[in-house]
Amino acid sequence: SDQLHCLDLRGAAIAQLAELGVAVVSIDICTAHNSNFFSYRREAKTGRQAGVIVL
């Protein structure tokens, strides 16, 4: 049979983090419109971007 099996990695990660008590935080910042952040869409050139995750 031609069955297709898929795994929602994002959903699985969210579920695991929720089980561990990690709070969901939604940040509504658009990097294309905010000059404090690099945006390839805005500047059309390569750059560097760093991210920090604090648990």
Give residue-wise pLDDT tens across range 3-47. 888 889 989 998 999 999 998 888 888 888 888 888 877 877 765
| Residues in Cβ contact with 42 at an 8 Å cutoff, skipping those fewer than 6 apart | 31, 32, 33
- Tally of structural domains, the chain: 1
Domain containing 15 equals: 1-55
Helices (H), the chain: 9-19, 40-43
Amino acid at 2: D
Amino acid at 37: F
Q: Is the pTM of this model over 0.85?
A: no
Cβ–Cβ under 8 Å, residues 27 and 37: no
**CA 33 to CA 43: how far, in whole Å?**
11
**CA 53 to CA 11: how far, in whole Å?**
19
